[in-house]
Amino acid sequence: MNKQKVLVTGGAGYIGSHACVELLEAGFDVVVVDNLANSKPESLARVQRITGKTLAFYQADIRDQAALTAIFAKETPTTVIHFAGLKAVGESCQQPQLYYHNNVYGTLVLTEVMAEANVKQLVFSSSATVYGESESPQYSEHFPLGAINPYGRSKAMIEDILRDLSTADTLNQAPNPWKIALLRYFNPIGAHQSGLIGEDPNGIPNNLMPYVAQVAIGKLPQLSVFGDDYPTPDGTGIRDYIHVVDLVKGHIKAIAALNSDKFLAGGCKAYNLGTGQGYSVLEIIQAFERVTEKPINYKISPRRAGDLAECFANPNLARQELNWKVEKNLDDMVADTWNWQTKNPRGYD
Ligand SMILES: NC(=O)c1ccc[n+]([C@@H]2O[C@H](COP(=O)([O-])OP(=O)(O)OC[C@H]3O[C@@H](n4cnc5c(N)ncnc54)[C@H](O)[C@@H]3O)[C@@H](O)[C@H]2O)c1
């Protein structure tokens, strides 16, 4: 069989760069399309250093239909992993149009170009933020959707569009129907164990782990813990943190599933990618203190609007149908975050 070529949108970003490492190590050819809105090309130089393999890189915006069409014509990929998107919840509330234009319109352009090129195999970066309120804190794929901010809604809209594309192919008895995996990430953290690639947030981090890491290294003075009066054992919010390397391995497994008999007739299916185990904010702080042997300066602040007390994945579907399971534990996540942070105190700069 010919080597499969995967086009990775947003491949220079945090999760995308880790996916490129796994793809190259699994023997795929890799083409990255990224406009570098939230990343640096150095990440891709490091991907090539880690793997000793090369990839093709195009600095382009996925909304640029002409550029994308030319890249598809030249590279003829067989599959697309679509990471490109803006992801800051707060910013999405302030600039919803930007988020809908970049994420939703960008995906429309991408899927049009893909259909035109007859490349109809897609793995999409969705998010647990698509879920609505639920009775149970452990979320399964069939739970009702109901995102509560523009970022989450942009992901939910994209899921709807992709499901509709797949349904239309079934109705039309398309000879080469869409095969789509919607991967709903819980909270990706950690870094490649080499310490060469990791999360390099612009400005003040939005997420807990890079924030804690920057407090530990002295770049930020103090962590705010939002709420210690939730109905959880220690009162702080509980989330499902997943090592980014485990997460990206889920994408390789998803490609294998799309290539298998399971998707022979096409389809669009959602899978949770989480560990199934929740940790509280205080447990994360304690794990960080344990691994780094440094105290973390934190203060308790009021709850934030919209935050749930507890949210973690039911990962059984991905386990059964993608044959995927996590291999790394919380201490690995913290140790790899710290390794990246101490080796690159200023990120890729
Ligand atoms: N990190 C998380 O916590 C998390 C959780 C759930 C889902 N996701 C989703 O996973 C994907 C990757 O997230 P990440 O953490 O690696 O973010 P990231 O910002 O590090 O990576 C996204 C990449 O996409 C690029 N990009 C953005 N808009 C683009 C456009 N219009 N054209 C071309 N490139 C564009 C950025 O430059 C960046 O390199 C995103 O779609 C995000 O919404 C992330």
Pocket lining: 165 vs ligand 1, CB cutoff 6 Å: no
Tell me, in angstroms, the distance from the centre of ligand 1 to residue 88's CA.
9
Evaluate: CB of 35 within 6 angstroms of ligand 1: yes
Q: Which atom of ligand 1 is nearest to the CA of 16?
A: 16
Look up residue 187 and give its two tokens: 């909270």
39 CB within 6 A, ligand 1? yes
Gap from CA of 34 to ligand 1 centroid (Å): 10
Alpha helices, H only, 128-198: 150-171
pLDDT tens-place string over residues 31-65: 999 999 999 999 999 999 999 999 999 999 999 99
The alpha carbon of 4 and the centre of ligand 1 are apart by a number of angstroms equal to: 23
Task: Report the separation in Å between the CA atom of 259 and the middle of ligand 1, taken as the mean of its atom positions.
Answer: 25
- Is residue 159 a contact partner of residue 185, using CB atoms and an 8 Å limit? no
**Catalytic residue (one of 151, 211, 230, 271):** 151
Give domain limits for the chain.
5-190+241-274
d(CA 324, CA 15): 17
- 5-190+241-274 — its CATH code? 3.40.50.720
Q: What is the pLDDT of residue 229?
A: 96
**Is 37 close to ligand 1, i.e. is its CB under 6 Å away?**
yes
Regarding the beta carbon of 198 and ligand 1, being less than 6 Å apart is answered no
Positive or negative CA dihedral for 253, 254, 255, 257?
positive
Distance between Cα 10 and ligand 1 center (Å): 6
- Smallest CA-to-CA distance from 219 within 238, 205, 239, 233 is with 205
Would you call 105 a catalytic residue per the annotation? no
**Cβ pair 335, 291 in contact under 8 A:** yes
- φ and ψ at residue 249, rounded to 5 degrees: -65, -30
Determine the pLDDT at residue 2. Answer: 56
Nearest to residue 127, comparing CAs of 202, 196, 207? 207
C-beta 11 within 6 A of ligand 1: no
Q: What is the mean pLDDT of each run of 10 residues along the chain (349 residues)?
A: 87 98 98 98 98 98 98 98 96 97 98 98 97 93 95 98 98 97 97 97 88 91 96 96 98 98 96 97 95 93 90 98 97 96 93
Which atom number of ligand 1 is nearest to the Cα of residue 187? 3
* Any atom of ligand 1 within 6 Å of the Cβ of 62: yes
Q: Which two tokens stand for residue 193?
A: 């164990």
Query: Which of 83, 109, 192, 271 to probe ligand 1 with, by most ligand atoms within 8 A of CB?
Result: 83
Cα–Cα nearest to 60, from 32, 30, 42, 35: 35
Q: Residue 341, class by beta-carbon neighbours within 10 Å (0-12 exposed, 13-18 middle, 19+ buried)?
A: buried
| Cβ of 93 less than 6 Å from ligand 1 | no
Our measurement of the distance from residue 310's CA atom to the centroid of its chain's CA atoms, rounded to an integer in Å, reads: 20
Long-range contacts of 113-118 (CB under 8 A, 24+ apart): 113/65, 113/68, 113/69, 113/72, 114/72, 114/80, 115/165, 116/69, 116/72, 117/69, 117/72, 117/73, 117/76, 118/176
Identify the residue whose C-alpha is closest to ligand 1 atom 39: 13
HSE, CB side, 13 Å, CA atoms: give it for residue 127: 25
Please state, in angstroms and as integers, the Cα–Cα distance from residue 87 to each residue in 10, 25, 206, 227, following that order: 12, 27, 10, 23
